[in-house]
Each structure stands twice: as C-alpha cells, then as structure tokens.
Amino acid sequence: MAELATVTLLINGEEHLLELDTRTSLLDLLREHLGLTGAKKGCDHGQCGACTVLIDGRRVNACLALAVAQEGTELITIEGLAQNGSLHPLQAAFVEHDAFQCGYCTPGQICSAVGMLGEVEAGWPSHASRDIAAEPRLDADEIRERMSGNICRCGAYPNIVAAIEEVSR
C-alpha cells in the first residue's frame, strides 16, 4: 500500500502543492505529474545523466532523488533555464556549436554544464585537477572530466566541449 505525503515544491520559480507516493522519484514527478519532459529517463539508474536537473544550483540525477525529499529546495529543469524569452547562454552555445545530434541527452548535458560552471566558480577541484589548492582552470580536458557523468550516445562530445568552453570564457 502506497504511503502518500503532501509536499510543496518550488520548480522553475513556480510553487507546486502535491500529494505524492513517497516512493516517487523526482524524475517521475517532473515528467508524469507536471508534464516537464525535458529531463529524460535514459537508464533510470543514475549512470547516463540524461535526467540531470539543478537542486539549489547543484546538478543531480533526478532518477535517483525522491521527490518528497526536495521540499524547501529550489529546483531548476531545462525548461526553467531560459529567462524572459531569452535562452540561457549555454542553451544558445549548444545551438551555435551544433552540440547535439539526436538531442536526447541535451537537456541533461546543459543542466549539468550549468551546475559544473557553478562548481568551477566556487573553486571546487575535480578528480583531474593537478593542484587542488589552485584556482580551477577550465580547459577541454577539465571540461571532459567534469562532464563525464553525462553520456552522449551520438558522440557530440567535441561540440559539447566547445560550447561549454565558449560560455566559460
């Protein structure tokens, strides 16, 4: 028997009062309950990154997060990145650099890149950082390492890296 909980979630700047099965993943809530289908269900195991969203500015695999645990956080999906009719700079760069082919992974790639640039700005080192005490230097190798949790089955990686490099400058 399902246990239900009432939660208030702030998603893309809009407050939602919801009654949910406590086992509902954030991804299923977004896609099935709210019609926000940008985040994709790729593997449903947190391995591909197609479902990446931002929770309080940090990138998260929505398939692994429980929706009821997100009360009190600010959730941003790919649908919430554009502001006042203008694409987010990373969205525009992905278009300009043709950083997608089939497009299935693109929303997760873009959300992950937004979160990754925030990590760099905060001074967080990555696994590939040569000197963890130094200011992070975002070159192509560093971008590839930091984005390694997002898989593109089409192989658009060179253009994805180029788009992120442009925005990071």
Tens digits of residue pLDDT in 24-54: 999 999 999 999 999 999 999 999 999 999 9
Two structure tokens written together for 72: 């009190």
* Helix residue ranges per DSSP H, the chain: 26-28, 89-96, 106-121, 140-146, 157-168
pLDDT of 69-94, one tens digit each? 999 999 999 999 999 999 999 999 99
What is the amino acid identity at position 25?
A: S
Q: Could you give the domains of the chain?
A: 4-80 (3.10.20.30), 89-168 (1.10.150.120)
pLDDT band at 2 (very low <50, low <70, confident <90, very high): confident
pLDDT, averaged across the chain: 95
> At residue 11, does pLDDT exceed 80?
yes
* Contact predicate 54/48, CB 8 Å: no
**pLDDT of 5 over the 80 cut:** yes
How crowded is residue 106: how many other Cβ atoms within 10 Å of its Cβ?
Answer: 24
- Tell if the pTM clears 0.75, that is, is over it: yes
pLDDT tens per residue, range 116-167: 999 999 989 888 777 777 777 889 999 999 999 999 999 999 999 999 999 9
Task: Judge contact between 20 and 33, C-beta under 8 A.
Answer: yes
Contact by Cβ (8 Å): 53, 30: yes
φ/ψ of 54, rounded to 5, equals -110, 130
Q: What is the mean pLDDT of residues 100-128?
A: 94
Reduce the DSSP state of residue 54 to 3 states and report it: strand
